[in-house]
Amino acid sequence: MEGDLRRKAEVRFIGYVRRSGEEEAEIEILPDFCDGLEGINDFSHLIILYWFHLRDNERERSTLLVFPRRHAVNVEKGVFACRSPSRPNPVGLCVVRLLRVEGCRLMVRGLDAYVDSPIIDIKPYLPRADSIPDAHVPSWTLRGPST
Distance CA 82, CA 96 (A): 19
Mark the ranges of the chain whose per-residue pLDDT is less than 50.
Answer: 1
C-alpha pair distances (Å), 116 with each of 53, 54, 59: 8, 10, 21
Query: What is the CATH number assigned to the segment(s) 11-52+91-126?
Result: 2.40.30.70
Q: Bridge-partner residues for 27, per DSSP?
A: 17, 106
Q: Give the pLDDT score at 71.
A: 56
Q: Give the pLDDT score at 73.
A: 64
Q: Give the pLDDT score at 144.
A: 64
Q: Give the pLDDT score at 7.
A: 78
For the chain, how many residues are written? 147
Q: Give the pLDDT score at 147.
A: 56
* Whole-structure pTM value: 0.88
Q: What are the residue boundaries of the structural domains of the chain, listed by start? A: 11-52+91-126, 53-89
Q: Give the pLDDT score at 27.
A: 98
Q: Give the pLDDT score at 41.
A: 97
Q: Give the pLDDT score at 100.
A: 97
Q: Give the pLDDT score at 21.
A: 83
Give, in degrees to the nearest 5, the angle at Cα 78 between 92 and 76. Answer: 120
